[in-house]
Amino acid sequence: MPKPNVLLIVADQHRQDCLPAYGNLDVAAPNLDALANEGAIHTEHYCVYPICTPSRYSLLTGRYPHSHLGFDNRCTIPAGIETFPKILRRGGYRTAAVGKMHFTPTYLDAGFEKMFLAEQDGPGRFDDDYHKYLKDRNLIDAVDLFDQRAEYRKNAPEEYWDSFGALESDLPEKHHSTTWIANRALEVIDGWSGGGNLLAVGFIKPHHPFDPPGRYAAMYDADALTLLPGYTCAVPEADKKKYYFDYDRLNEKKLRHVMAMYYGTITQIDDAVGGIVAALKQKGLYDNKMIIYTADHGEYMGFHHLLLKGGHMYDPLMKIPLIVKYPGGRVRGEDGSMSSNIFLPHLILSECGADIPASMRGAGSGGCVFAEYLAGENRYMVRTRSHKLLICGNPGGETLFDLAADPYELNDVSNEPGSKKIIYDMKEMLFNEFLFDGKQSHLDADAPSVRESPRSAADEMREYMRFRSPVKA
């Protein structure tokens, strides 16, 4: 029996209820629907960190961020920590990564033999294959540049701020990051035969800016969209702070426009997934393949009158899709157990018959999930079916939500009768799950890489970005 092939697809900033498989019929995603129908769809699935890199490292290592030492978007997995791609590579798997990985250094050796990257910010934007591809064609992703780079954002046009970053891409569809990533994935798959292949595909979207190209930008009638659960007419007092955008300017009409563009990026990803699945079927590799679709974290998309991420670990930020198509389609249907992406390395290695290190967390009891945010003051989340406890590093910084009575997390009940025992029990769960070590985020720009990015090439890219006018024609 050949080793199963594994395709791991990670979207960026994909809120769970923004797929038809999860009940949102406003969104067109027939290919992910088909995967859900042929596999398992997890309805209570969460990330363990609400920003990109730490969450992605947890998915690779099966460790919480306090254990793999990655707390922000510029950090490095210490060399001695195992990842599931490293284990599979040692076991004879051919391993490749395409798209957004968000590593430091850009081509960090996390177990992938081949890497074809499309990054969005940080050093990766100057090192990656995608932006070199654009430069060679005298193209630039201007909307993304305004959104991601502070030196350009300060000169962003009013249209960017007024639309909350929801603008049609300045790139044609054939040069958009989603298309480029899908095409590189198809090239990797074209070289496959038999089993023993791992491909990780990371899409930049639907992460902001919400900039689908051409037909995807015009696909949805904004006025016909239904606002997502948890929308409020203003930012609640408990959530008021300085955010990326000025939400006093956000209203229902503008939010629906943002939703239309966000949904357009999701449908474009869905079409890309459809093309990848079709290629696997054409090569006769679909049946013996494990396909996983998930995200690194979610998105507010109107929840509490907010967009993007940041602030408290509310469900729209933490609750993400997980669709798993098993080889032979042997596991199907809805799975309502509490789960998180920290369990995926164990699941993948089990499916591949590989040895699993004790450091990689297996699925828990199904009754509770945990998350943390360690940039600045430490914050933690304990989520059961009935309650959510948010713990802030400040004394008395505990917030408790009774999710049965308050599913949109608007009313703190931490001081109500009976809550003291609930909080105590949930903190006990957290302390039993975590081993706190108090170390700083690990950063090693000289860590072993799959390939190096010459500084001269990176400097050349920076000069190109500096002097190329990012103005839509």
Cα–Cα distance for residue pair 311/320, rounded to 1 Å: 17
Q: With bands split at pLDDT 50, 70 and 90, how would you rate the model's confidence at 462?
A: confident
Any idea which residue has 């007024």 for tokens? Answer: 162
Q: Indicate the pLDDT class of residue 205, thresholds 50, 70 and 90.
A: very high
Per the CB < 8 A criterion, the answer to whether 272 and 293 are in contact is no
- What integer is the mean pLDDT of 341-367? 88
Residue 337 burial (C-beta neighbours within 10 Å; 0-12, 13-18, 19+): middle
Neighbours of 186 (CB within 10 A): 16
How far is Cα 139 from Cα 427, in angstroms, rounded to an integer? 51
Q: Which two tokens stand for residue 153?
A: 């954002």
Find, among 50, 3, 60, the residue nearest to 360 by Cα. Answer: 60
The tens digit of pLDDT for each residue in 278-337 reads 999 999 999 999 999 999 999 999 999 999 998 899 999 999 999 999 998 888 999 999
First-last CA distance in the chain: 55
Cβ atoms within 10 Å of 468's Cβ, excluding its own: 15
**48-75 pLDDT, tens digit each:** 999 999 999 999 999 999 999 999 999 9
CA dist 310 and 300 (Å) reads 9
Instruction: Kindly report, residue by residue over 372-417, the tens digit of the pLDDT.
Output: 999 878 899 999 999 999 998 765 689 999 999 999 999 999 999 9
In a 3-state reduction of DSSP, which class is residue 228?
A: coil
- Which two three-digit tokens encode residue 89? 């590579």
The Cα–Cα gap between 121 and 233 comes to: 32
For residues 370 and 345, the answer to whether their CB atoms sit within 8 Å is no
With cut-offs at 50, 70 and 90, classify the pLDDT of residue 455.
low
Sign of torsion, CA 125 127 128 131? Answer: positive
- pLDDT of residue 45 exceeding 80, the answer is yes
pLDDT > 80? residue 366: no
Predicted confidence at residue 375, as pLDDT, reads: 81
In the predicted model, is pLDDT for residue 363 greater than 90?
no
Determine the Cα–Cα distance for residues 54 and 66; give it in Å rounded to an integer: 9
What contacts 272, CB < 8 A, 6 or more positions away?
A: 178, 179, 181, 182, 185, 203
What is the rounded distance in angstroms from the CA atom of residue 319 to the CA atom of residue 315?
5
Token reading at 314: 């509310």
Q: Partners of 398 in the beta sheet?
A: 391
Tokens, residue 345: 């390395």
Q: What pLDDT score was predicted for residue 473?
A: 36
Nearest to 212 by CA among 203, 201, 199: 203
pLDDT at 122: 78
Calpha distance 436→431 (Å, rounded): 8
Residue found under tokens 């510029």: 74
The yes-or-no verdict on residue 86 having pLDDT over 80 is yes
**Furthest CA-CA distance within the chain:** 65
pLDDT band at 472 (very low <50, low <70, confident <90, very high): very low
φ and ψ at residue 51, rounded to 5 degrees: -130, 170
Phi, psi of 289 (to 5 degrees): -115, 140
Could you tell me which of 86, 59, 98, 115 has the C-alpha nearest to residue 294?
59
Looking only at the bridges linking them, the beta strands covering 289-295 and 5-12 are parallel
Distance CA 340, CA 318 (A): 9
pLDDT recorded at residue 311:
81
Of 12-16, 122-126, 243-247, which range is least confident? 122-126
Give mean pLDDT, residues 350-357: 95
What is the percentage of the chain residues whose pLDDT exceeds 90?
79
Token pair 């899409």: residue: 203
Place of tokens 């904004």: 222
SS3 of 223, please?
helix
What's the mean per-residue pLDDT of the chain?
92
**In the predicted model, is pLDDT for residue 471 greater than 60?**
no
Assess contact for 381 and 372: CB atoms under 8 A. Answer: yes
pLDDT higher than 80, residue 438: no
Residues 150-204 have pLDDT tens digits of 888 888 999 999 999 999 999 999 999 999 999 999 999 999 988 999 999 999 9
DSSP state at residue 149: -
pTM of the model: 0.94
Per-residue model confidence (pLDDT) at position 469: 54
Question: How many angstroms separate the CA atoms of 162 and 234, rounded?
Answer: 17
- In this structure, the dihedral spanned by the alpha carbons of residues 268, 270, 271 and 272, taken in order and rounded to 10 degrees, is 90
* Contact partners, residue 456, CB within 8 Å, separation at least 6: none
| Rounded Cα gap, residues 25 and 9, in angstroms | 22
